[in-house]
Structure 1
Amino acid sequence: MTWVNYPGLPSSPDYPLVKKLMKGKASSVMSFGIKGGRDNGAKFIDNLNLVTRLVNIGDAKSLACHPASTTHRQLSATELKKAGVPEDLVRLSIG
């Protein structure tokens, strides 16, 4: 992993809100970057066994999504960057 975005981490800019509004208990949704970009992000998702590869984050199941190879696959690297979607981004929702 190259980075993690989870509001339950003290390093998150959203951590003060989690402490104030959610009594320090963040949700089960997070995102992180996989070293190696788009190709390794897709490989990571393909090799998951206990988590379903789906794009409808928020389901009652545990789900993972690599937007650069699924919902945003039609975009170039430049377009992904402009849209704020890193090529290495993986979203994980534990249900």
Structure 2
Amino acid sequence: METLPFRMQAHVENARAVAEWLDADDRIEFVNWAGLPGHPHHARAAKYLPLGPGSVFSFGVAGGRGVGQRFIESVNLASHLANIGDAKTLVIHPASTTHAQLSEQQLLAAGVLPGLVRISVGIEDVDDIIDDLDRALAAAVRGE
């Protein structure tokens, strides 16, 4: 408990940097993080969460389900886990894991787009997190 404020500050600062980086990347279709000015709830998040809207958000990898799944399989620093809030960065591709039993129509109805990735940004060095995501995106897009 003694270190919680410092850890949360690191989580949110890292999430901001990662979300901004993803938002500027052509391999990413969208970023759902309320801290970004283009998010529909940005003003509300700024009002009620002035330090930042947390470190768990989703983004869409361009290219669909296969690219999203390859992205998850290509991370090295981040862990492929369904839980959230760890000190480590965690990623998951819901369409091929937690929601894999659903049909394509059910996935879309639930808001689980083919390339959707959920990330829980950890407190590692933010440059290392971004480097890992960049390498994984490059491998996923190349089809490795």
CA contact (8 A) 1:67 1:85 kept: yes
Length, aligned pairs only:
95
**The 10-residue stretch of structure 1 (26-35 or 39-48) with the greater mean CA deviation from structure 2:** 26-35
24-33 or 2-11: bigger deviation = 24-33
CA distance in 1: counterparts of 2:111 and 2:85, whole angstroms: 20
Kindly state the Cα deviation for residue 26 of structure 1 after the two structures are TM-superposed: 2.5
Work out whether 1:10 is the aligned partner of 2:46: no
In structure 1, give the amino acid aligned to 2:85. Answer: G
CA separation in 1, counterparts of 2:71 and 2:62? 10
Gaps in structure 2 of 5+ consecutive residues: 1-27, 123-144
Aligned partner letter, 1:83: A
Structure richer in strand, relative to its length: 1
Identity over aligned pairs, percent:
49
Q: TM-score, normalised by structure 1?
A: 0.91
Deviation at 1:61, TM superposition (A): 2.4
- Judged with a 3 Å threshold, the aligned counterparts in structure 2 of structure 1 residues 70 and 4 are, in CA distance, closer, same or farther, namely same
Equivalent positions of 1:16-55 (< 5 A) are 16-55=43-82
Q: CA RMSD in A?
A: 1.3
Point out the structure with max Rg over C-alpha: 2
Q: TM-score, normalised by structure 2?
A: 0.62
Question: Shift of the alpha carbon at 1:34?
Answer: 0.7
Q: Counterparts of 2:85 and 2:114 in 1: how far apart (Å)?
A: 21
Correspondence 1:45-84 to 2 at 5 A: 45-84=72-111
SS where residue 56 of structure 1 aligns?
A: coil
Q: Distance in 2 between matches of 1:2 and 1:23?
A: 26
CA distance in 1, matches of 2:103, 2:63: 16
Q: Distance in 2 between matches of 1:27 and 1:58?
A: 10
Between structures 1 and 2, the one with greater helix share: 2
What residue identity is the alignment partner of 1:63? L
Q: Which runs of 5+ in 1 are unaligned?
A: none
3-state SS, counterpart of residue 2 of structure 1: strand
After superposition, what is the alpha-carbon deviation per residue over 1:15-62, rounded to whole angstroms, capped at 9, x for unaligned?
112211111522112211111111110000000011000011233321
